[in-house]
Structure 1
Amino acid sequence: MENNVVHEHGSHAAIITDLASLILRECSAIQSVCEEHKIPPPSMLAGTSTAFWSDDAPKLISSRSKALGLLEKLVTLLQGPHDFLHEFVAPNWDHGALYAFLQSSALEHMASSDGSASLFNLSNASGIPEDKLKRILALLRCRNIVDEPEEGIFTLTAVSEELVRDEDFRAWVEFQLFETRVASAHLAQALANKPNDYENGSSGFAQAWGSEMYDWHSKHPDKGDRFRRAMRGVSKSLDPADSLLRKHIPSGEIPSGCTEIVEIGGRYGFASVSLVEERPNLLFEVRCDSQDFIRREAALVTPSSKERITFTGVPSLKDLSFNNDSTKVFAYVIRNVFWNWTDHNAVKLLQALLPTLRAVPSTRILVTDGVSPVPTQFPQHIEIAYRRRDITTMTMHNVKQRTQAEWLKLFSQVHPGLKVSLDFLRRQ
């Protein structure tokens, strides 16, 4: 067996029996953890309640992740190149069917009817002719999004229940099925245009929709609102920023006299809104260039914390001055701001913070943002999430997710005496 070892980072020489054995090993480990912690087995049936998919059991997460990566390798080997490519692109039609389903009122009607409804009633509720709706639902049934326990009767599954239960995550799914799907189809044309570099090129989104994403959303407020809900929804599971900030803003003692956290930005929600509830010993100020974002987020603050958080509207984040900051700032929080900024603008803002750092050496700058890893840094089935993010930022905004080396180069331009510490939280 030594010559046929399946390495974690992938092997083109892997053989089917090796993969099957490793998958069985991980599944056995999963079973043992479930039995030890009395975790119910997973199921796609509506009403399923299990901690199987949660983050509460680290050993379960590890084995699940490894099993999924091994399964992907096995499926690819079983398919072969032609069938792999066919199945790689064919889900485009699944996505179209799901978006049509979500844009109708069929899901809501099913949910309000105790999770079950006839094709006739779903057709009346959605306005989609029965014969067309039947074909849409048949494809979604194959994807476990709905079930058909008897002919013409459709029910929710655990998957569709998730879309009903979490409206913000549903908004993210719809955003992916509409704006990003169309934008990605226009990336090739955007790259064919000249110039096509990061500085002067255009995004796939602009190529598809005629303007850059934020401008387009401002012209289509219903889609803009959906996008904001989408970012709020996906940040619950994919954005590690808040957990990293909790780690670096201690709940106990902080340097004497330092009582303030100043957050800059906030397009995807303000970290301060949750941190102000957890850090009663600190005052918070948010500086943002969108009154709409400020209004939405300020409404989320509980009455007991309102006196400890201030929201300040500013004309532009890129021209902020910090000369009037007091000597009480413990930390500046810059969360998901620099990812679509040029190095020049990011360095300019960070240099504006230097006078405060000179006055209070204990003051820190907490920057949380995405990092593009080096090849093989993660197993392939985990690395793909980062590579998708690379294409996402290129397609939607004509910007890039910086590598660690690029981040360090950026910070080195701020000041030679600036101390930089790195911390990572990877996607599973």
Structure 2
Amino acid sequence: MSLEIEQLANAIASNVAIYKQHLSSHGIPAPSHSELPPEGPITLPPNVENARQAALEASHELHDLLSGSVGHIMNAAQRSTRIMVLHFIHTYKIGYNLKWGSRTTFNDIADLANLDVDDTKRMLRLAMTEHLFTEPENGIVMHTAASYELARNHLLSAWVGITTQENWSPMLRITEAMGKYPGSEEPLESAYVLAHGVKEDAFKVWEKDPARITQFSNAMAFLHAGSGFQPAEALSGFAQDTGVFVDVGGSKGHVSIQLARTYPKWKFIVQDSKQTVQLAREEIPDDVREQVSFQVHDFWTEQPVKDADVYFFKTIFHDWSDKYSIKLLRALIPSLKQGAKVIIADVCIPPKGAVSQYKEQWMRGLDIVMKCFTNARERDYDGWASLFEKADARFRFLGVRTPLGSKASFIEAEWNSHVGIINGN
């Protein structure tokens, strides 16, 4: 073990040196809990981003080894307390009105949120162990980089809201749900339904609540902006310089708006619920208003846009089990022309051992979160190929491509109307 931990320590040191040298040479401040964080993500060249990721992976493994087998298990409690303090901060908007460098007190925070001061102090001092806020003097509270980012970034705040208010409680019921409904593909037999006591799937629940659907839309905007996802790659390899792109379940058009700026001769139609489309039409940037339009559409019903070149789904299929994902694909069929492409931007789980445990943990964790949510799943290469095959033999699976630095992959199929055999009804 001593050799292994030494190798990990050396890997951390060498890769951090590459990362730090790049930051220094470009005048970018090194990461700090006490310095004002830059707005927006820092774009790194591939070799530097690879070094940063390698340092993260090695530090993750080193931490687990140094914790020991018992400590490794007991560290699970720390993960749950981080969710707990984020839930507290987000619920009461702690520090959301506090400027960078300003000072406040536990008493003032408690009064503003109508909370007990001792409860507030205990929760925030726990949060401080997660580098959320700091106490430079007894009773004085100031922002750290992380707490300030949460306060100023409303999209990040929305993601925290979805994580803590919608997803956390179902995680505590997933074991029960698996025992009660073994192998279920039904959304109404999910841990989410058990935890929230609802009689509809989460999306239908949210659509009836403007605050919840807005929070979800903003959380998706945050994930699209910060996941390393590269929208322009969706049309990579297309020989044609013009076409029609249907963004099914595209929320407020985050992907289509970016694509429109890269492909000015393409037309983009973004489809979503009535509430989301109304918000999207109010927020559409002027420079793409002529290129990007919005349409109310329930993707369980027949696709209304006929003969488009691309039907695109960003993080839609991972919300649904195979049974319902096949239904989604079949709803497209009456509208598909020969050669039309179905492009899905979603996670493709690599073969076991192909990536580090650090990366695989994120993917496997997301897989079970989706199981909690609607009895859905993340899929590997064979799972994606099987989905198209089961939907209809006229879908020709083209494979999976993952752009460098992206967490999402592009899963593609082409419609071949000349194949005469249809699987299923």
Q: TM-score range by the shorter chain?
A: 0.7 to 0.9
The question of whether the paired residues in 2 share the 8 Å contact of 1:272 and 1:284 is answered with yes
The question of whether the paired residues in 1 share the 8 Å contact of 2:271 and 2:295 is answered with yes
1:398 pairs with 2:375:
yes
- 2:300 maps to which of 318, 342, 345: 318
- 1:42 maps to which of 31, 34, 51: 31
Aligned residue in 2 for 1:427: 407
Aligned residue in 2 for 1:93: 81
TM-superposed deviation, 1:415: 3.2
Choose 407-416 or 165-174, whichever is displaced more: 407-416
TM-superposed deviation, 1:281: 1.5
Q: CA separation in 1, counterparts of 2:207 and 2:355?
A: 38
TM-superposed deviation, 1:201: 7.2
Alignment of 1:215-294 (within 5 A): 215-238=204-227, 240=229, 242-248=231-237, 254=241, 259-267=243-251, 269=253, 271-288=255-272, 290-294=273-277
The question of whether the paired residues in 2 share the 8 Å contact of 1:264 and 1:334 is answered with yes
Change (3 A) 1:105 1:89: closer
Q: CA separation in 1, counterparts of 2:59 and 2:231?
A: 32
TM-superposed deviation, 1:163: 0.7
Q: CA separation in 1, counterparts of 2:348 and 2:64?
A: 28
1:80 pairs with 2:68:
yes
The question of whether the paired residues in 2 share the 8 Å contact of 1:276 and 1:308 is answered with yes
Alignment of 1:113-124 (within 5 A): 115-124=102-111
One-letter code aligned to 2:66: L
One-letter code aligned to 2:10: S
Alignment of 1:293-312 (within 5 A): 293-312=276-295
Residues 254-282 of structure 1: CA deviation (Å, up to 9, x unaligned): 2xxx5422332224745323333443212
The question of whether the paired residues in 1 share the 8 Å contact of 2:188 and 2:374 is answered with no
Q: CA separation in 2, counterparts of 1:85 and 1:270?
A: 40
The question of whether the paired residues in 1 share the 8 Å contact of 2:234 and 2:343 is answered with yes
TM-superposed deviation, 1:384: 1.2
Residues 83-139 of structure 1: CA deviation (Å, up to 9, x unaligned): 12111223323322332232224312423x853212232222122222222212211
The question of whether the paired residues in 1 share the 8 Å contact of 2:135 and 2:142 is answered with yes
Aligned residue in 1 for 2:413: none
Question: What secondary structure does 1:387 align onto?
Answer: helix
Alignment of 1:290-369 (within 5 A): 290-314=273-297, 316-321=298-303, 325=306, 329-339=308-318, 340=320, 342=323, 343-354=325-336, 356-357=337-338, 361=339, 363-369=340-346
Choose 177-186 or 416-425, whichever is displaced more: 416-425
Q: CA separation in 1, counterparts of 2:96 and 2:357?
A: 38
Change (3 A) 1:312 1:33: closer
One-letter code aligned to 1:351: I
One-letter code aligned to 2:279: R
Aligned residue in 1 for 2:158: 171
Change (3 A) 1:291 1:158: same
Residues 209-255 of structure 1: CA deviation (Å, up to 9, x unaligned): 122322332454433332222222222112726243253567xx52x
Q: CA separation in 2, counterparts of 1:30 and 1:287?
A: 41
Change (3 A) 1:199 1:153: closer
User: TM-score normalised to the size of structure 1?
Assistant: 0.83
| Matched-pair identity in % | 19
User: TM-score normalised to the size of structure 2?
Assistant: 0.84
The question of whether the paired residues in 2 share the 8 Å contact of 1:105 and 1:125 is answered with no
Aligned residue in 2 for 1:371: 348
Alignment of 1:129-144 (within 5 A): 129-144=116-131
Residues 322-361 of structure 1: CA deviation (Å, up to 9, x unaligned): 6x735xx43332333333153531441343344x11xxx4
TM-superposed deviation, 1:23: 2.0
One-letter code aligned to 1:377: A
Change (3 A) 1:397 1:200: closer
Q: CA separation in 1, counterparts of 2:78 and 2:397?
A: 49
Runs of at least 5 residues in structure 1 that lack an aligned partner in the other structure? 1-11
Q: CA separation in 1, counterparts of 2:228 and 2:374?
A: 19
The question of whether the paired residues in 1 share the 8 Å contact of 2:268 and 2:293 is answered with yes
Change (3 A) 1:220 1:310: closer
TM-superposed deviation, 1:398: 0.4
Change (3 A) 1:200 1:133: closer
One-letter code aligned to 2:49: I
Residues 133-180 of structure 1: CA deviation (Å, up to 9, x unaligned): 221221122211101111111101111111122111111112212221
Alignment of 1:128-207 (within 5 A): 128-199=115-186, 202-207=189-194
Question: What secondary structure does 1:44 align onto?
Answer: coil
Q: CA separation in 2, counterparts of 1:239 and 1:269?
A: 17
Runs of at least 5 residues in structure 2 that lack an aligned partner in the other structure? 409-425
Q: CA separation in 1, counterparts of 2:255 and 2:67?
A: 45
Q: How many residues align?
A: 400
Alignment of 1:19-30 (within 5 A): 19-30=8-19
TM-superposed deviation, 1:386: 0.8
TM-superposed deviation, 1:208: 0.5
